[in-house]
A = this chain, B = another copy of it.
């Protein structure tokens, strides 16, 4: 810091954190991963996973690091949402936070032991506990962003296993958007996009007619985009 002119030094006194809203999906619907804080402030409260950004740590890398420490997962969908900078948002000092959301396949998640979390767990998006800091505001911003994105980009698949049924996909959309959709219209629309590859495989062990399985064909999507296609649901 010695190389800085005197008059600039007082500006280099902020800290920055990243906070992540980790979305997952299962039979019960859309969920998010919360941690129970193991350290002050707000020890014992549920909060979004997050950590301070190191002085020489790239912002996106920090977000990936937090996610990986918490879930053991790398290489997942991760998107910056926005930065929250109210002066008094953190009791320890001037800490701004950059919010990210990520989409993971909930079945891939394994509990990890991270320094800042005494406990972690999935919460249904409908039944959330009170959150520490301004994390409810952050969560709302991320949820709003997810709802817009999921209709304009084929990112819903990031929440599903590789093979899935059309009904599961429809329930995914319904539970993210909070709406009900017509089965026939949904299938018509999504299949017409020609992004799903039907597999020669079906569910088994279910007490009803087994559904066919599909896979999202990412290469096909990229090709269509290059030809001017744009996803919309």
A residues whose Cβ falls under 8 Å from a Cβ of B: 1, 3-4, 8, 10-16, 52-60, 80, 82-87, 92-94, 96, 98
Contact = CB atoms under 8 A, between A and B. Distances in A.
A15 B15 contact: no
B58 A86 contact: yes
A80 B16 CA distance: 17
B13 A55 contact: yes
A59 B96 contact: yes
B14 A1 contact: no
Nearest to A86: B58
B12 A93 contact: yes
Given A1-B13, A12-B14, A14-B16, A53 B85 contact: yes
Given A1-B93, A10-B55, A52-B11, A98 B85 contact: yes
Contacts of A98: 83, 85
A14 B87 contact: no
B92 A4 contact: yes
B80 A83 contact: yes
A57 B3 CA distance: 24
Nearest to A16: B14
Contacts of A56: 87, 94
A81 to B, nearest CB: 8
Contacts of A82: 80, 82-83
16 contacts: A1-B13, A3-B93, A8-B15, A8-B92, A11-B54, A14-B14, A14-B15, A14-B16, A14-B53, A16-B85, A53-B85, A58-B85, A59-B85, A80-B82, A82-B82, A82-B83
